[in-house]
Chain A
Amino acid sequence: MKPAAFRTPEIGDDNGVLRARLHAIWETQPGWRGWLSTVDHKEIGLRYIVTAFVMLALGGIEALVIRLQLAGPDLHLLTPDQYNQFFSTHGMTMIFLYASPILSGFSNYLWPLIFGSRDMAFPRLNAFSYWVYLFAALFLYSGFLIGAGPNDGWFNYVPYSEKDYNPGLNQDFYALGMVLLGISTSVGAANFIVTFFKMRAPGMSINRVPIFAWGTLTASAANLVVVPAVSLAFFLLWLDRQFATDFFRPAGGGQPLLWQHLFWLFGHPWVYAIVLPAMGMVSDGLPVFCRRPLVGYSVVALSTIATMILGFGVWVHHMFATGLPGLSMSFFSGASIVITFPSAVAVFAWLATIWTGRPVVTTAFLFFASMILLFVIGGVSGFMTASVPVDWQLTDTYFVVAHIHYVLIGINVFPVVGAAYFWFPKMTGRMMDERLGRWNFWTMFLGFNLGFLPMHVTGLLGMPRRVYTYSDGMGWDILNLVTSIGSFVFAIGVLLFFINCWKSLRSGPAAGDNPWDGPTLEWAVSSPPPPYNFAVIPTVASRHPLWEDQLEESVARTSIHRGMTLDQAKETIATTPLDALPERIVEMPGDSYAPLLLAIALAVLFVALLLKLTVLVVIALAAVFLALLLWLWPRRELLERREPAHG
């Protein structure tokens, strides 16, 4: 029966018959067909998470090789060229192939569940963004595996990345691979933004949205407008290399600093984009283990946005040594000091939540709570570099390496592992092992600090970044050895995490719907959730739907077991941006091969560009157009076409 143009949705109760009907509508086809064509956000989210953790492991192995080479002075484990590819690939892997995709993965999985919705706004776009990420990762790594990996650091300054100094394929792999990856990031960002504003359950007004969603939203809004800067930079670099244009080459009137501006206009907002969602994980997870809502929800939500906005205005602090005018540097120095302010809001909110709550120390709690300290350590080392004269000494030394690892591992990895412990039961239906979790936590925590706390001193003693070796007699020997040992201990901790995931997946105890007695909507569905998420669309009455009886925040109660059934087709509800009033019934696309086909066509296009095979470029472009046509062909079931007249 085809839907009419206007409809009053049926209100019903959650029951077995309804569930069976919805299950048949929403489930992905079994087998490889379903695997290649699924648009289920949970499936896609899990793929992102698994792939990103594989990247974490690869990047970690690269780091361990680096630390072996640097464990003592004048070692010869790696040649200088190999080392330079290792440290560059390590940076690229961690920052681009792990840190953002892992957060996309958790966001993809969780958002419709925490919003009380049945899927993201654009399910096919979601599938597409994963495939492109996977192909970009393969593209980038194929360079590394043939000895043509990136070799100019992750921020890839010109002129060293120009063909005159870097004639091999290394830079072409990096440049084209990053443009391809940028497509994934951009469409993912678009999906999150529209989902946030249009796909929340009725009643989930904007001040009832979990902080995790605020984190991913601000990151996505930023990514949408800054990823083009880095994609452009890499594209222009590729043009300079392959077509002798003069964007960055001084001989032709180009400017090396143009690269730095374009890169850091992207790069600085990017580093906030890879931590704000993780901070949101802590803001949502920590309160569950403190048995109280987050202190200062509104201030924390606003500070998330403020941090991101200020994050657009500080990029020059990566360029303090480049000879810029003093006035401009003063402005950016001031902005970089001021940005610690909104970041500090979250720290105080978390501390207050612990102090005014009734903390229960679980493994997830340990990761969320320890992150507060690591955040502060990373934050203060950033504060130190915000002061221009001090930065002129600190920049490009191991002090900055210490800073970036405290902020990245402290504000991304630790919350992510905590989030894994927290949401693993929801995703898999099994609990992770708490005892192994303690070993996991302490090994990671002690190993990380053993490795990276001394690095601040190494930097203060002047050890520069990106050096494949160092002489004895500089005073760095013992510090480097300690850092190397700490890194290995940390790696064992990460291994324990993977082991815990694997072991628990196979034989962890059953979890139930709400093992932690959490307050938000994901804990109202089964573990793992059914393909349709919610049998009836919830109507939300407060920020903590499952804690309403205890908290008495509002008179009304969230309705979870009675609501719109929306079971006439694959459909869900779209609501208004601020108040989440029901606005439209949306027909959702079923499984489709179009996202995969388009991703393959793009991957072939980029390989053709890399190898400069003109005919293949043309064929791939045609394939891209055809795949898009297939995808965007107006469909009756999505009501994009004229409906046949009813009798």
Chain B
Amino acid sequence: MSATPLDYLSSAGRRADVTLPLTWWVLGVSVAVCVIIAALLWLGIRRARATGGAAETRATPVERPSDGLRWITVGLAISAVPLLATLIWTMAALAQISGPPRRPGLTIDVTGHQWWWEVQYQGAEPSDTFTTANEIHIPVGVPVLVRLRGGDVIHSFWVPKLAGKTDAIPGQNNLAWIQARRPGRYRGQCTEYCGTQHARMGFEVVAEPRDAFERWRTAQLQTAPPPVTPAQARGLALVSFRCGLCHAVRGTDAASHYGPDLTHLMSRRMIAAGMLPNNAGTLAGWTQNPQALKPGTLMPDQHLSGSELADVGAYLETLK
């Protein structure tokens, strides 16, 4: 991932591609205007007769002035040109990117929750449907329709390298679309203040070639494998009994949809909505004490004993 994963001064997807030149244009016009005005201001002040206070002011007499209106008329006339150009370019760009260029090749449902992203891939049949969290995979070069829902409060779906923002508003069905031009891992972020941990509501969009995407999708459709070792079995029991109050692991008794679906937890690069890398250490820390890492998160501290925590970890490791 780049050094500035959320910047949009480089683009990797069609909507961002169309927006970027317009962005540079308005930025360039803006900087030019500032430089010109600064120069005019500076040169105008440099002409000052005096520097000082009241005495110097009174000592500089008021005389009948010249007109000066031409400044306004010429200034406005010059300003009108880039303004008009921007207006026209804006309309053209908006027309290009408000809807996908052709029928979407994939539709996903994204629901914003405090403070994570629920992602559901629809299939033709119920057995083709699966839910995951915080990591979205899409095939490269295919327009993907994203149906946005607000699960509780307003959130906003933003993956800058691919597209601009669209809000997820409760009671409203907003549509966004993204299309990646090249493979890569693109960072996303919630960009509508949504409460305590708005700052830590990130996600990733992974664009991969078609066949890699299909392999990923097939793997995601699998239910969780049965436990092999005793530690994993004990871990499964704990997960079903406790974690199952909020989480789902397909193929087990854990079937709640209040929190992220964990069936393929280990296939994800990050946990806690893009906050921590996904490895044994962070996973253990997060499981035991999420409040320390992300205060206010809706997952309570677990107060597991050392061996319980190890067992849970052992089981979670199998959820690839």
A and B touch in the complex (CB under 8 A): yes
Residues of chain A at the chain B interface (Cβ within 8 Å): 79-81, 84, 152-153, 157-160, 164-165, 250-251, 254-257, 288-289, 291-293, 295-296, 299, 321-323, 326, 329-330, 333-334, 337-338, 340-341, 344-345, 347-349, 351-363, 369, 372-373, 376-377, 380-381, 383-384, 386-393, 395-397, 425, 431, 434, 460-471, 473-476, 511, 515-517, 519, 547, 550-552
Is the C-beta of B72 less than 8 angstroms from some C-beta in chain A?
yes
Within the complex, the shortest CB–CB distance from B46 to chain A, in Å, comes to 9
Q: Are A321 and B69 in contact (CB under 8 A)?
A: no
Q: Are A464 and B90 in contact (CB under 8 A)?
A: no
* Alpha-carbon separation in the docked complex, A270 to B153 (Å): 26
Query: Which B residue's beta carbon lies closest to that of A476?
Result: B4
Is the C-beta of B310 less than 8 angstroms from some C-beta in chain A?
no
Q: Are B26 and A393 in contact (CB under 8 A)?
A: no
* Alpha-carbon separation in the docked complex, A372 to B43 (Å): 13
Q: Are B90 and A322 in contact (CB under 8 A)?
A: no
Q: Are A348 and B165 in contact (CB under 8 A)?
A: no
Q: Are B61 and A376 in contact (CB under 8 A)?
A: no
* Alpha-carbon separation in the docked complex, A547 to B15 (Å): 59
Q: Are B152 and A159 in contact (CB under 8 A)?
A: yes
Which residues of chain B have C-beta atoms less than 8 A from A380's C-beta? 29-31, 33-34
Is the C-beta of B288 less than 8 angstroms from some C-beta in chain A?
no
Q: Are A352 and B167 in contact (CB under 8 A)?
A: no
Within the complex, the shortest CB–CB distance from B97 to chain A, in Å, comes to 6
* Alpha-carbon separation in the docked complex, A358 to B49 (Å): 6
Within the complex, the shortest CB–CB distance from B114 to chain A, in Å, comes to 8
Residues B64-81 near A (CB distance < 8 A):
64-72, 75-76, 79-80
Q: Are A360 and B48 in contact (CB under 8 A)?
A: yes
Within the complex, the shortest CB–CB distance from B83 to chain A, in Å, comes to 6
Within the complex, the shortest CB–CB distance from A402 to chain B, in Å, comes to 12
User: By CB atoms of chain B within 10 A, which of A391, A460, A462, A476 has the most?
Assistant: A462
Q: Are B79 and A340 in contact (CB under 8 A)?
A: yes
User: By CB atoms of chain A within 10 A, which of B9, B166, B198 has the most?
Assistant: B198
Q: Are A295 and B68 in contact (CB under 8 A)?
A: yes
With A381-B30, A462-B160 as given contacts, are A153 and B193 in contact (CB-CB < 8 Å)?
Answer: yes
Q: Are A462 and B57 in contact (CB under 8 A)?
A: no
Q: Are B156 and A250 in contact (CB under 8 A)?
A: no
Which residues of chain B have C-beta atoms less than 8 A from A344's C-beta? 75-76, 79
Within the complex, the shortest CB–CB distance from A36 to chain B, in Å, comes to 36
With A337-B90, A356-B66, A550-B63 as given contacts, are A160 and B193 in contact (CB-CB < 8 Å)?
Answer: yes
Which residues of chain B have C-beta atoms less than 8 A from A467's C-beta? 198-199
Q: Are B166 and A321 in contact (CB under 8 A)?
A: yes
Query: Which B residue's beta carbon lies closest to that of A392?
Result: B164
Q: Are A360 and B57 in contact (CB under 8 A)?
A: yes
Q: Are A288 and B65 in contact (CB under 8 A)?
A: no
| CB-contact partner of B41 in A354, A389, A391, A431, under 8 A | A354
Query: Which B residue's beta carbon lies closest to that of A469?
Result: B199
Which residues of chain B have C-beta atoms less than 8 A from A373's C-beta? 34, 37-38, 41
* Alpha-carbon separation in the docked complex, A517 to B61 (Å): 9
Which residues of chain B have C-beta atoms less than 8 A from A462's C-beta? 4-8, 160, 189
Which residues of chain A have C-beta atoms less than 8 A from B41's C-beta? 351, 354, 369, 372-373
| CB-contact partner of A357 in B3, B29, B65, B67, under 8 A | B65
* Alpha-carbon separation in the docked complex, A299 to B67 (Å): 13
19 pairs across A/B with beta carbons < 8 Å? Answer: A84-B195, A153-B193, A160-B194, A257-B172, A291-B61, A323-B148, A330-B94, A337-B86, A347-B37, A352-B71, A354-B45, A373-B41, A376-B33, A380-B31, A396-B156, A464-B6, A466-B198, A517-B62, A551-B62
Residues B200-249 near A (CB distance < 8 A):
none
* Alpha-carbon separation in the docked complex, A218 to B76 (Å): 22
Within the complex, the shortest CB–CB distance from B164 to chain A, in Å, comes to 2
Q: Are A393 and B8 in contact (CB under 8 A)?
A: yes
Which residues of chain A have C-beta atoms less than 8 A from B23's C-beta? 384, 390, 393
With A165-B153, A291-B61, A474-B6 as given contacts, are A323 and B26 in contact (CB-CB < 8 Å)?
Answer: no
Q: Per-residue CB proximity of B156-180 to A under 8 Å, as 1/0?
A: 1010100111110111101100000
